């Protein structure tokens, strides 16, 4: 009987550890956001060669009393395809507020938790808040840079014989631009909501 109790206690402890990991997993995302906001990836890239911790600390806009904490952030590294805009958008307080409203959302007939948090849909909110609108567009654009390259390389054949492309919900047109660089003969229309920022510069493009 004691053996069973010991096994049960061990399983319970493992389960508790698992729950604690889920509870505090957000710290990874917030730490990544902190590293980006402090400009750590940019500082390392501009340095152009291996950088000591002391060199990094001296280049960062941090309080002297916090220098000995920098090494805890250094597990988070930048990559060639920057996720900075996407990260800053997803972890913005306007977006994270919805996660505090999930239980309320389950109890009412609102379409989503964002509407519970802000009494508007995301699109209505973004249409009234230029900062969030810009964050969203930049986030989608950063994601589309890599995706467009993969689409062109892996699915190039589907564009054979295509002379006109419409990008519905195309935002700043990053996806269309990526495809357009590979197929300059094509005409493009980027279709999106009125408050999306216009970015032109091409004669074979239309923005609706």
Model confidence pLDDT, tens digit, residues 40-99: 888 988 988 888 889 998 999 988 888 887 876 775 444 435 677 888 888 899 999 999
User: In this predicted structure, what is the pLDDT of residue 131?
Assistant: 94
Confidence of residue 175 (pLDDT cuts 50, 70, 90): confident
Q: Which domain holds residue 69?
A: 22-79
**Residue 43 covered by a domain:** yes
**Residue 100 covered by a domain:** no
**What does the pLDDT look like over 68-82, one tens digit per residue?**
878 767 754 444 356
**Residue 204 covered by a domain:** no
The tally of domains found in the chain comes to 1
Confidence of residue 115 (pLDDT cuts 50, 70, 90): very high
**What does the pLDDT look like over 10-19, one tens digit per residue?**
677 677 678 7
**Residue 205 covered by a domain:** no
Residue 13 near residue 36, CB atoms below 8 Å:
no
Three-state secondary structure string covering 151-177:
HHHHCHHHHCCCCEEEEECCCCCHHHH
**Residue 31 covered by a domain:** yes
**Residue 56 covered by a domain:** yes
CATH of residue 45's domain is 1.10.10.10
**Residue 4 covered by a domain:** no
Average pLDDT of the segment spanning 141-170: 81
Strand 187-191 vs strand 205-207: parallel, antiparallel, or unpaired?
A: parallel
**Residue 107 covered by a domain:** no
How much of the chain, in percent, has pLDDT values that exceed 70? 82
Confidence of residue 199 (pLDDT cuts 50, 70, 90): very low
């Amino acid at each position: 009987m004691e053996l069973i109790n010991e096994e049960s206690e061990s399983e319970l402890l493992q389960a508790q550890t698992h729950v604690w990991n889920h509870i505090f997993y957000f710290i990874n995302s917030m730490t990544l956001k902190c590293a980006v906001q402090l400009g750590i990836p940019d500082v390392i890239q501009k340095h152009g060669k291996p950088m000591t911790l002391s060199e990094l600390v001296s280049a960062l806009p941090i309080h002297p009393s916090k220098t000995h904490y920098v090494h805890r952030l250094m597990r988070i590294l930048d990559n060639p395809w920057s996720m900075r805009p996407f990260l800053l958008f997803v972890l913005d307080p306007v977006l994270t507020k919805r996660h505090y409203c999930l239980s309320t959302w389950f109890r009412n007939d609102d379409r989503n938790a964002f509407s519970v948090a802000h009494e508007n849909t995301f699109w209505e909110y973004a249409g009234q808040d230029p900062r969030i609108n810009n964050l969203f567009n930049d986030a989608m654009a950063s994601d589309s840079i890599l995706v467009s390259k993969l689409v062109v390389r892996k699915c190039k054949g589907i564009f054979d014989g295509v002379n006109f492309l419409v990008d519905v919900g195309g935002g700043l047109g990053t996806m269309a631009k990526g495809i357009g660089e590979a197929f300059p003969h094509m005409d493009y229309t980027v279709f999106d909501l009125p408050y999306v920022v216009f970015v032109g510069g091409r004669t074979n493009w239309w923005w609706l």
